[in-house]
Amino acid sequence: MRRLAGLIVLLLALPALVTADDAVNITHDLPFVEIPVKGKTVRIERNPDPFNMIDPDYGLTSRRCPPFCVQPMQLAPGVETIGELELLDYLKRVGSGDAGILVVDSRDGTWPARSGVIPGAILIPWQELFLEKGDHEHIATLLEDRFGARRDGPLWSFAQAKTLVFYCNGPWCGQSPTNIRSLLALGYPAHKIKWYRGGMQAWKALGLTTVPP
Protein backbone atom coordinates (compact mmCIF):
# COMPACT_ATOMS: atom_id res chain seq x y z
CA MET A 1 0.00 0.00 0.00
CA ARG A 2 2.83 2.36 0.86
CA ARG A 3 4.43 1.74 -2.54
CA LEU A 4 1.08 2.35 -4.28
CA ALA A 5 0.52 5.55 -2.33
CA GLY A 6 4.01 6.73 -3.22
CA LEU A 7 3.40 5.99 -6.89
CA ILE A 8 0.14 7.97 -6.84
CA VAL A 9 1.89 10.96 -5.25
CA LEU A 10 4.63 10.77 -7.90
CA LEU A 11 2.10 10.66 -10.75
CA LEU A 12 0.18 13.61 -9.33
CA ALA A 13 3.41 15.60 -9.03
CA LEU A 14 4.65 14.70 -12.51
CA PRO A 15 3.03 17.64 -14.35
CA ALA A 16 4.53 20.07 -11.85
CA LEU A 17 7.93 18.44 -12.18
CA VAL A 18 7.80 18.66 -15.96
CA THR A 19 6.45 22.19 -16.22
CA ALA A 20 8.94 23.45 -13.67
CA ASP A 21 11.49 23.32 -16.46
CA ASP A 22 9.89 25.88 -18.79
CA ALA A 23 12.65 25.77 -21.42
CA VAL A 24 10.34 25.03 -24.34
CA ASN A 25 12.45 27.22 -26.59
CA ILE A 26 12.07 27.74 -30.31
CA THR A 27 15.68 26.67 -30.85
CA HIS A 28 18.54 25.92 -28.47
CA ASP A 29 19.51 29.61 -28.27
CA LEU A 30 16.24 31.30 -29.29
CA PRO A 31 13.60 31.27 -26.55
CA PHE A 32 11.24 33.73 -28.23
CA VAL A 33 10.90 36.51 -30.79
CA GLU A 34 9.31 39.87 -30.01
CA ILE A 35 7.75 42.03 -32.73
CA PRO A 36 5.51 45.11 -32.70
CA VAL A 37 1.91 44.45 -33.78
CA LYS A 38 -0.60 47.32 -33.88
CA GLY A 39 1.42 49.40 -31.44
CA LYS A 40 2.00 46.58 -28.97
CA THR A 41 4.88 44.17 -28.51
CA VAL A 42 3.90 40.58 -29.15
CA ARG A 43 6.12 37.74 -28.00
CA ILE A 44 6.16 34.76 -30.35
CA GLU A 45 7.03 31.70 -28.32
CA ARG A 46 6.10 28.06 -27.91
CA ASN A 47 3.49 27.07 -25.37
CA PRO A 48 5.49 26.08 -22.26
CA ASP A 49 2.97 23.41 -21.24
CA PRO A 50 4.38 20.03 -22.36
CA PHE A 51 0.83 18.63 -22.28
CA ASN A 52 -0.53 21.26 -24.68
CA MET A 53 -2.37 19.72 -27.65
CA ILE A 54 -2.95 20.95 -31.18
CA ASP A 55 -6.30 22.65 -31.89
CA PRO A 56 -8.97 20.16 -32.99
CA ASP A 57 -9.44 22.13 -36.23
CA TYR A 58 -5.95 21.03 -37.24
CA GLY A 59 -6.08 17.53 -35.80
CA LEU A 60 -7.80 15.94 -38.79
CA THR A 61 -5.59 13.69 -40.89
CA SER A 62 -7.99 13.13 -43.80
CA ARG A 63 -9.78 15.86 -45.72
CA ARG A 64 -11.72 15.50 -48.95
CA CYS A 65 -9.54 15.99 -52.03
CA PRO A 66 -10.38 17.96 -54.03
CA PRO A 67 -10.26 20.63 -52.76
CA PHE A 68 -8.03 19.77 -49.78
CA CYS A 69 -5.21 18.07 -51.69
CA VAL A 70 -1.60 17.71 -50.53
CA GLN A 71 0.57 20.40 -52.10
CA PRO A 72 4.05 19.79 -53.55
CA MET A 73 7.13 20.87 -51.65
CA GLN A 74 8.36 22.91 -54.63
CA LEU A 75 5.38 24.98 -55.72
CA ALA A 76 6.95 26.70 -58.74
CA PRO A 77 10.47 27.32 -60.09
CA GLY A 78 12.13 30.12 -58.15
CA VAL A 79 9.55 30.23 -55.34
CA GLU A 80 11.27 29.30 -52.09
CA THR A 81 9.48 27.03 -49.64
CA ILE A 82 10.33 28.03 -46.08
CA GLY A 83 9.91 26.73 -42.54
CA GLU A 84 9.19 28.31 -39.19
CA LEU A 85 12.66 29.69 -38.51
CA GLU A 86 12.84 31.40 -41.89
CA LEU A 87 9.35 32.82 -41.35
CA LEU A 88 10.38 34.12 -37.93
CA ASP A 89 13.34 35.85 -39.54
CA TYR A 90 11.02 37.59 -42.01
CA LEU A 91 8.70 38.58 -39.16
CA LYS A 92 11.64 40.05 -37.23
CA ARG A 93 12.63 42.07 -40.28
CA VAL A 94 9.05 43.34 -40.65
CA GLY A 95 9.02 44.23 -36.97
CA SER A 96 12.29 46.13 -37.27
CA GLY A 97 10.76 48.38 -39.95
CA ASP A 98 11.66 46.60 -43.19
CA ALA A 99 8.90 47.86 -45.51
CA GLY A 100 10.07 45.61 -48.33
CA ILE A 101 8.53 42.47 -46.80
CA LEU A 102 4.88 41.50 -46.38
CA VAL A 103 3.66 38.33 -44.67
CA VAL A 104 0.24 37.38 -46.05
CA ASP A 105 -2.38 35.09 -44.50
CA SER A 106 -4.51 33.86 -47.44
CA ARG A 107 -7.23 32.12 -45.43
CA ASP A 108 -10.89 32.98 -45.76
CA GLY A 109 -14.14 32.38 -43.91
CA THR A 110 -14.05 31.80 -40.17
CA TRP A 111 -10.58 30.22 -40.09
CA PRO A 112 -8.65 33.36 -38.99
CA ALA A 113 -11.18 34.23 -36.28
CA ARG A 114 -11.24 30.65 -34.94
CA SER A 115 -7.53 29.95 -34.90
CA GLY A 116 -5.92 33.41 -34.94
CA VAL A 117 -3.20 34.60 -37.29
CA ILE A 118 0.57 34.61 -37.11
CA PRO A 119 1.72 37.85 -35.44
CA GLY A 120 2.91 40.39 -37.99
CA ALA A 121 0.92 38.90 -40.88
CA ILE A 122 -1.82 40.73 -42.77
CA LEU A 123 -5.04 39.04 -43.82
CA ILE A 124 -5.86 39.02 -47.55
CA PRO A 125 -8.46 36.30 -48.28
CA TRP A 126 -7.35 34.24 -51.26
CA GLN A 127 -10.36 35.22 -53.39
CA GLU A 128 -9.04 38.79 -53.56
CA LEU A 129 -6.01 37.57 -55.52
CA PHE A 130 -7.72 34.84 -57.54
CA LEU A 131 -6.85 35.84 -61.11
CA GLU A 132 -9.36 33.55 -62.83
CA LYS A 133 -12.49 34.75 -61.05
CA GLY A 134 -11.39 37.78 -59.03
CA ASP A 135 -11.93 41.50 -59.54
CA HIS A 136 -9.00 42.47 -61.77
CA GLU A 137 -9.18 46.14 -60.77
CA HIS A 138 -9.04 45.14 -57.12
CA ILE A 139 -6.06 42.88 -57.85
CA ALA A 140 -4.36 45.80 -59.60
CA THR A 141 -5.00 47.98 -56.55
CA LEU A 142 -3.45 45.35 -54.29
CA LEU A 143 -0.42 45.11 -56.56
CA GLU A 144 0.13 48.86 -56.40
CA ASP A 145 -0.99 49.84 -52.92
CA ARG A 146 0.04 46.79 -50.90
CA PHE A 147 2.75 44.99 -52.86
CA GLY A 148 4.71 47.92 -54.31
CA ALA A 149 4.34 47.06 -58.01
CA ARG A 150 3.96 49.86 -60.57
CA ARG A 151 2.08 50.08 -63.84
CA ASP A 152 4.32 50.59 -66.83
CA GLY A 153 1.87 51.14 -69.67
CA PRO A 154 0.07 47.85 -70.32
CA LEU A 155 2.70 45.96 -68.32
CA TRP A 156 3.79 45.88 -64.69
CA SER A 157 7.12 46.87 -63.21
CA PHE A 158 8.19 44.84 -60.18
CA ALA A 159 11.53 46.52 -59.58
CA GLN A 160 10.31 47.99 -56.28
CA ALA A 161 7.88 45.18 -55.46
CA LYS A 162 7.95 43.71 -51.97
CA THR A 163 9.01 40.24 -50.96
CA LEU A 164 5.78 38.39 -50.20
CA VAL A 165 5.58 35.51 -47.71
CA PHE A 166 2.36 33.51 -48.07
CA TYR A 167 0.74 30.91 -45.86
CA CYS A 168 -2.68 29.38 -45.30
CA ASN A 169 -3.97 26.35 -43.36
CA GLY A 170 -1.34 23.72 -44.07
CA PRO A 171 0.16 21.35 -46.65
CA TRP A 172 -3.37 20.37 -47.74
CA CYS A 173 -4.50 23.98 -48.30
CA GLY A 174 -4.60 25.38 -51.83
CA GLN A 175 -5.41 29.00 -50.96
CA SER A 176 -1.93 30.52 -50.80
CA PRO A 177 -0.68 28.33 -53.69
CA THR A 178 -3.54 29.67 -55.83
CA ASN A 179 -2.52 33.25 -55.01
CA ILE A 180 1.14 32.55 -55.71
CA ARG A 181 0.33 31.08 -59.11
CA SER A 182 -1.85 34.11 -59.92
CA LEU A 183 0.99 36.49 -59.09
CA LEU A 184 3.45 34.49 -61.16
CA ALA A 185 1.04 34.63 -64.11
CA LEU A 186 1.05 38.44 -63.79
CA GLY A 187 4.83 38.50 -63.93
CA TYR A 188 5.61 38.88 -60.21
CA PRO A 189 9.24 37.76 -59.76
CA ALA A 190 9.42 34.24 -58.33
CA HIS A 191 12.41 35.12 -56.16
CA LYS A 192 10.26 37.73 -54.39
CA ILE A 193 7.68 35.13 -53.35
CA LYS A 194 8.13 32.80 -50.38
CA TRP A 195 5.78 30.05 -49.24
CA TYR A 196 5.38 28.73 -45.71
CA ARG A 197 3.98 25.34 -46.75
CA GLY A 198 3.33 24.10 -43.20
CA GLY A 199 0.95 26.98 -42.62
CA MET A 200 -1.21 27.28 -39.55
CA GLN A 201 -1.32 23.53 -38.98
CA ALA A 202 2.45 23.32 -38.54
CA TRP A 203 2.52 26.60 -36.57
CA LYS A 204 -0.11 25.25 -34.16
CA ALA A 205 1.59 21.86 -33.95
CA LEU A 206 4.67 23.61 -32.55
CA GLY A 207 2.62 25.55 -30.00
CA LEU A 208 3.63 28.93 -31.45
CA THR A 209 1.85 32.19 -30.65
CA THR A 210 -1.13 33.48 -32.61
CA VAL A 211 -3.09 36.72 -32.31
CA PRO A 212 -6.65 37.75 -33.26
CA PRO A 213 -7.03 38.84 -36.91
The yes or no reply on domain 21-205 and CATH 3.30.410.10 is no
Question: What is residue 33's predicted lDDT score, i.e. its pLDDT?
Answer: 96
Question: What is residue 18's predicted lDDT score, i.e. its pLDDT?
Answer: 46
Question: What is residue 8's predicted lDDT score, i.e. its pLDDT?
Answer: 45
Omega into 67 within 30° of 0, i.e. cis?
yes
- Per-residue pLDDT tens for 122-154? 999 999 999 888 789 999 999 999 999 999 888
Nearest CA among 116, 124, 111 for reference residue 203: 116
Q: Taking the CA of residue 20 as centre, how many other CA atoms within 13 Å lie in the half-sphere pointing to its CB?
A: 6
- Per-residue pLDDT tens for 155-182? 899 999 999 999 999 999 999 999 999 9
Give the start-end residues of each E strand in 11-79. 33-37, 40-44
Q: Which residues does the chain have with pLDDT short of 50?
A: 4, 6-11, 13-14, 16-20
Q: Please, which residues have CB within 8 angstroms of residue 109's CB and are 6 or more apart in sequence?
A: none
108 vs 169: CA distance, rounded Å: 10
